[in-house]
Structure 1
């Protein structure tokens, strides 16, 4: 059985607004969370082309949007976070959101742009998803593709991050000191679509079979696709299953052609009833959504866990 996502539409659900200076270049790489019956989206926006090899002075912002059905979103007119002096002077990138108790935690990449490798995992918290308190750098090293697990496990906060080219996991008592870093999943050179590097997509989400982790894989031609794996419930450093084939690949024109060609890249998903909606950036320019039934996800893991 090869598990695949199905696109909700052959058109983007979110596109740049030319009359908004801060988001007229691109809107992509969406963090998402379902709470209180609504799907909340925090999306990355740029004022210019988002390809740093072409445009070296673009700025990054976060916009907020909300939806009842997870597909049709209403957006705020102004960004909720943007550049500040220091580590985030070129802005904020690639948000991933979880809720622990009554607080939302967002991990994102703070982009300084002052020298090579000037990007760090940063954290902010909120009570309402619009007003955020920045906590600054969470892990002081060139690093990205990070999220917390949405609950403590064995009394520990758990962090997924990416020390290229692999996905890593780490633990903390206080969200400040991170220990026991180890590789969670390695690149698979035998799988061309994920042979260069891999990284987290949206935050892991819990099922009775284990923690489901959607991730991105990059080929040696720098083509970005999405994959899926299952982690152990009690010890999420253990990978129970990892599908060798991608679940979504760049196929549509706006996924192939854009600021950064040949990219589908996710930072979040939402579950509405039995439907899993995976939000993704297309070619680092616009936002699309793909879906599957959670019952089909469970069927996939039923098969692999019974082997």
Structure 2
């Protein structure tokens, strides 16, 4: 791939020859936005899509499941990078396309990097996608010599250039900010170990070029047991790409507690300073969404709500939040941005 990679829409066909990509680019954005009003009588700040899961078990031929995935606006439609598993249970990344961000067509073949020789031990999971300047950047947890933050970029989701890993092993939950801050790229992450980490705090790192990373600063810790924060006492990790608001960067994140039946993953929110995002202004002292629905409680890994992406309709302040449920399927929840910000400020404990 060259830097002059075409920005036209790709033509990716499935095994039946059906085009999986949008047909044309429209700077005005998609014609539809995924949304369902809050159920009558509900006072929830975040509520579930009534048709969940939007991608269930065996979402395409040969795939066992799809979850913990990323979506983004692309022209007049939507693109996604989905974590999938085939019948070997080995995790891959697949590209998908949608006109409404709910009904997805998944490319049956895994994403391939044109400049990188395939390593059969190099797994890929928990992707995020963000557009910065003219490039779409994909970050994920890659298994190249141990789990850490892998990075790639593309312009048309047809050719993908793999970049250098951001960090040494071990690390997870790499989430880029959607623009440079004081001239630097910023990346959230959670240093970890090589297993199913039973600890973890959120850090932010800076880079002048998306290759050299440094100035690693603590953003916020797990814990909070002294203030009753059991839902996030074990570990935390950044979720979707942060959303810029006048009140600060809205960072949705997962908080984990350990129980006698294993980990439980829930969703919270924080507001970070716009110029110094390692400064936490507000942080929810209760979860926004926790495993309650059957598809969140029961699955390959039970009791998981794992937010990975969020679409923001700036015209009316609506949010569509994408999350993996029980490491088995992909779901959506909704919120009004202004309500979510006010709730975070009114129910905050920073520690």
Q: Which TM-score band applies after superposition, normalised by the shorter structure?
A: 0.7 to 0.9
**Counterparts of 1:131 and 1:73 in 2: how far apart (Å)?**
20
**Counterparts of 2:297 and 2:117 in 1: how far apart (Å)?**
32
Match of 1:66 in 2: 97
Match of 1:105 in 2: 137
Cα shift at 1:304: 7.5
Say yes or no: does 1:133 pair with 2:165. no
Q: Classify 1:6/1:304 alpha carbon distance in 2 versus 1 (closer, same or farther; 3 Å).
A: closer
Cα shift at 1:295: 3.0
Aligned residues: CA RMSD? 2.3
- Give the number of the structure whose residues are more often strand, by fraction: 1
Matches within 5 A, 1:1-307: 4-9=45-50, 11-17=52-58, 20-21=61-62, 23=63, 25-48=64-87, 58-81=89-112, 85-86=118-119, 89-112=121-144, 118-164=146-192, 165-190=200-225, 191-221=229-259, 222-272=263-313, 273=315, 274-300=317-343
* 1:214-260 deviations in Å (ceiling 9; x for gaps): 00011012100111000011111111100011111111111111110
Higher relative contact order (CA 8 A, sep 6+): 1
Contact between 2:306 and 2:323, CA under 8 Å: does it hold in 1?
A: yes
Cα shift at 1:101: 0.7
Aligned residues: 289
Contact between 2:319 and 2:335, CA under 8 Å: does it hold in 1?
A: yes
| TM-score where L is the length of structure 1 | 0.87
| TM-score where L is the length of structure 2 | 0.76
Contact between 2:237 and 2:253, CA under 8 Å: does it hold in 1?
A: yes
Q: Classify 1:6/1:188 alpha carbon distance in 2 versus 1 (closer, same or farther; 3 Å).
A: same
**Counterparts of 2:117 and 2:61 in 1: how far apart (Å)?**
19
* 1:178-226 deviations in Å (ceiling 9; x for gaps): 1111210101242111111000111111112111100001101210011
* 1:49-102 deviations in Å (ceiling 9; x for gaps): xxxxxxxx631111222233322223323322499644x624211111111111
**Counterparts of 1:236 and 1:184 in 2: how far apart (Å)?**
7
Match of 1:54 in 2: none
**Counterparts of 1:136 and 1:262 in 2: how far apart (Å)?**
34
- For structure 1, list consecutive stretches of 5 or more residues without a partner in the other structure: 49-56
**Counterparts of 2:151 and 2:234 in 1: how far apart (Å)?**
27
Structure number with larger C-alpha Rg: 2
**Counterparts of 1:84 and 1:5 in 2: how far apart (Å)?**
42
Deviates more, 1:202-211 or 1:10-19: 10-19
Q: Classify 1:248/1:301 alpha carbon distance in 2 versus 1 (closer, same or farther; 3 Å).
A: closer
Contact between 1:59 and 1:90, CA under 8 Å: does it hold in 2?
A: no
